[in-house]
C-alpha cells in the first residue's frame, strides 16, 4: 500500500477510534507520532487498545455477518510478539479452549503480527477454519467427507498426513511465518467439541452418523485496520444452526444428505410438488439445534439472530452510525421471508476497518499470475 494511502487510512481510523473511546484529547500527540512512523517506515505500530477497538470495528463493519449486535464483547488476544509458527500453534490451542469455554462460547480474535512493507506476505494460517473436516475422493470417484476441503486434504495427504477415513476426520492446521517453512500440527480439541447429531422426534436420525464441531473459527481472512494488514488473525463466534443444518449438511456440493434423510422420512422424492426438500431442511435444522442444546453448546436459531440484527441496526442508528450489510448473506438459508431482515434492504458499502478474503496459499488452489503461492498483490 502506498504511504500516502496508509497516512489517510491511519488518520481516519485513529480519529474515529479515539472519538468512540472518548479519548479525543490524546489524538493530536498520538497522530504526530504515528504520522512520523509512517513517513519513516511505511507503516505504523498500533497500541493494544487501538488494535482491540479496530478489531471490534472490523466485526461491526462485516456486511455478511448477522451476529454483529455483540461486536463490543469481542475478546482480543494480542499475539503480535510471536515470532514463528511453532509458538503460534500454542496460541491457537489456547484460542480454541478459551473461546469454546466448555460450550459457553466467547467471541475471540487472536491477532498475530502485521504484514510489513516490502514483504510478499505476512504470517498466514493456510486453513479456512481452525476446525474443519477433511474431504477425499475415493477410488470409485465418490467423495468421503466434506467436498469443500478436497484441495486442503490432498495437500496434507501428499505430505504424508494420515486420515482415519471417516466422513468427519478433522484436518490438521498449516501455518507459515514469512521466510520460514510451513508447519503442520493437529490442534488439541477441547472436550465436548464434537456434536453427534440426533433428532428430538426421530430416533432413526442418529443412525445417519452425522456430526459437526461446536466452534467456527475463521482463520484465513486478513484484518485491516487503518492501513495495517493482519494476515493471520483467526476469529470465532458461535454457530447459527442454519450454517450447519441448511448449508454444510444439505448443500448438494457439501455433505448432500437430503436424499438420505428424505428416504428415512418416507417422503416422495420423485416430484418437487411434495416439497420434500423443504420438509427435510426443517428437520435437519431441528436436529442441529436440538443436539447442540443437549450437549450444552451455545448456538443461535435464525429467528433470534434476525431479531438481534434488527436490534443491532437500532443501536447503531442511535449512535449516529448507519449500518451496512449484504442482504443475500444476512437473510438465513431457511424460511427467509419468515424473518424480518428479508423485508428490508441494505447498503453494501465496505467500510474500514474490516475483514477481507485472501488468496489461499495451498498450492493446488493458486491462481495468481506469478505462480508463487505466497505472492500477494
Ligand atoms: N459458515 C461457516 C461454517 O459453517 C462459519 C462462518 C462463521 N460463522 C459464525 N457463526 N461465526 O462453518
pLDDT at 364: 61
Q: Is 240 in the pocket of ligand 1 (CB under 6 A)?
A: yes
Q: Per-residue pLDDT averaged across 49-59, rounded? A: 99
The catalytic position among 50, 152, 224, 243 is 243
Q: Is 172 in the pocket of ligand 1 (CB under 6 A)?
A: no
Q: Per-residue pLDDT averaged across 10-29, rounded? A: 98
Q: Is 234 in the pocket of ligand 1 (CB under 6 A)?
A: no
Q: Is 353 in the pocket of ligand 1 (CB under 6 A)?
A: no
**Which ligand 1 atom sits nearest the alpha carbon of residue 239?**
10
84 contact partners, CB below 8 Å, separation of at least 6:
177, 180
CA of 243 to the centre of ligand 1 (A): 6
The catalytic position among 44, 155, 177, 238 is 238
Q: How far apart are CA 285 and CA 247, in angstroms?
A: 10
| Residues in the chain, overall count | 377
> For residue 371, what pLDDT band results from cuts at 50, 70 and 90?
very low
Q: How far apart are CA 69 and CA 278, in angstroms?
A: 29
pLDDT at 377: 30
Question: Residue 8 pLDDT > 80, yes or no?
Answer: yes
pLDDT at 285: 99
Question: Residue 375 pLDDT > 90, yes or no?
Answer: no
> For residue 374, what pLDDT band results from cuts at 50, 70 and 90?
very low
Q: Is 219 in the pocket of ligand 1 (CB under 6 A)?
A: no
Hey, which of 108, 127, 216, 309 would you mutate to test ligand 1's pocket, going by the most ligand atoms within 8 Å of its Cβ? 216
Q: How far apart are CA 369 and CA 359, in angstroms?
A: 12
**Which ligand 1 atom sits nearest the alpha carbon of residue 248?**
4
- Alpha-carbon torsion, ordered 62, 63, 69, 72, to 10 deg: 20
Nearest alpha carbon, ligand 1 atom 4? 243
CA of 288 to the centre of ligand 1 (A): 14
pLDDT one-digit tens code per residue, 261-273: 999 999 999 999 9
Question: Residue 370 pLDDT > 80, yes or no?
Answer: no
Q: Is 148 in the pocket of ligand 1 (CB under 6 A)?
A: no
Per-residue CA distances from 43 to 54, 55, 145, 155, 227 (Å) = 16, 18, 43, 34, 8
Question: Residue 206 pLDDT > 60, yes or no?
Answer: yes
> For residue 376, what pLDDT band results from cuts at 50, 70 and 90?
very low
Return the DSSP state at 77. E
80-89, 111-120, 363-372: least confident range: 363-372
pLDDT one-digit tens code per residue, 124-147: 999 999 999 999 999 999 999 999
pLDDT one-digit tens code per residue, 158-203: 999 999 999 999 999 999 999 999 999 999 999 999 999 999 999 9
Cell numbers that stand for 301 in this block: 436459531
Q: Per-residue pLDDT averaged across 246-268, rounded? A: 98
Q: Is 217 in the pocket of ligand 1 (CB under 6 A)?
A: no
Q: How much is the mean pLDDT over the chain?
A: 96
| Full-model pTM | 0.96
Amino acid at each position: 500500500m502506498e504511504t500516502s494511502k496508509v497516512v489517510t487510512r491511519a488518520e481516519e481510523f485513529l480519529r474515529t477510534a479515539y472519538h468512540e473511546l472518548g479519548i479525543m484529547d490524546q489524538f493530536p500527540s498520538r497522530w504526530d507520532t504515528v504520522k512520523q512512523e509512517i513517513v519513516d517506515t511505511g507503516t505504523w505500530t498500533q497500541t493494544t487498545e487501538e488494535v482491540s477497538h479496530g478489531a471490534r470495528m472490523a466485526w461491526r463493519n462485516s456486511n455478511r455477518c448477522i451476529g454483529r449486535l455483540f461486536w463490543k464483547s469481542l475478546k482480543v488476544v494480542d499475539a503480535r510478539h510471536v515470532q514463528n509458527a511453532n509458538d503460534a500453534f500454542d496460541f491457537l490451542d489456547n484460542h480454541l479452549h478459551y473461546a469454546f469455554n466448555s460450550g459457553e462460547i466467547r467471541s475471540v480474535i487472536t491477532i498475530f503480527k502485521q504484514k510489513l512493507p516490502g514483504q510478499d506476505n505476512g504470517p498466514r494460517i493456510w486453513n479456512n477454519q481452525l476446525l474443519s473436516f477433511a474431504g477425499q475422493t475415493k477410488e470409485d470417484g465418490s467423495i468421503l467427507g466434506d467436498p469443500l476441503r478436497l484441495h486442503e486434504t490432498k495437500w496434507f495427504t501428499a505430505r504424508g498426513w494420515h486420515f482415519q477415513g471417516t466422513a468427519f476426520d478433522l484436518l490438521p492446521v498449516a501455518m507459515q511465518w514469512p521466510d520460514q517453512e510451513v508447519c503442520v500440527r493437529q490442534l488439541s480439541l477441547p472436550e465436548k467439541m464434537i456434536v453427534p447429531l440426533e433428532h428430538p422426534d426421530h430416533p432413526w436420525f442418529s443412525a445417519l452418523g452425522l456430526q459437526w464441531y461446536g466452534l467456527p473459527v475463521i482463520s484465513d481472512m486478513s484484518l485491516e485496520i487503518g492501513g495495517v494488514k493482519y494476515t493471520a488473525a483467526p476469529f470465532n463466534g458461535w454457530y447459527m444452526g442454519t450454517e450447519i443444518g441448511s448449508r454444510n449438511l444439505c448443500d448438494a456440493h457439501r455433505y448432500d444428505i437430503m436424499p438420505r434423510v428424505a428416504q428415512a422420512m418416507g417422503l416422495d422424492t420423485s416430484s418437487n410438488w411434495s416439497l420434500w426438500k423443504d420438509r427435510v431442511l426443517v428437520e435437519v435444522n431441528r436436529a442441529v439445534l436440538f443436539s447442540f442444546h443437549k450437549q450444552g453448546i451455545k448456538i443461535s436459531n435464525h429467528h433470534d439472530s434476525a431479531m438481534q440484527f434488527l436490534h443491532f441496526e437500532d443501536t447503531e442508528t442511535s449512535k449516529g452510525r448507519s449500518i451496512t450489510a449484504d442482504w443475500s448473506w444476512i437473510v438465513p438459508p431457511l424460511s427467509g421471508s419468515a424473518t424480518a431482515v428479508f423485508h428490508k434492504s441494505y447498503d453494501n458499502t465496505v467500510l474500514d476497518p474490516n475483514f477481507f478474503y485472501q488468496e489461499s496459499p495451498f498450492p493446488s488452489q493458486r491462481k495468481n499470475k506469478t505462480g508463487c503461492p505466497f505472492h500477494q498483490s
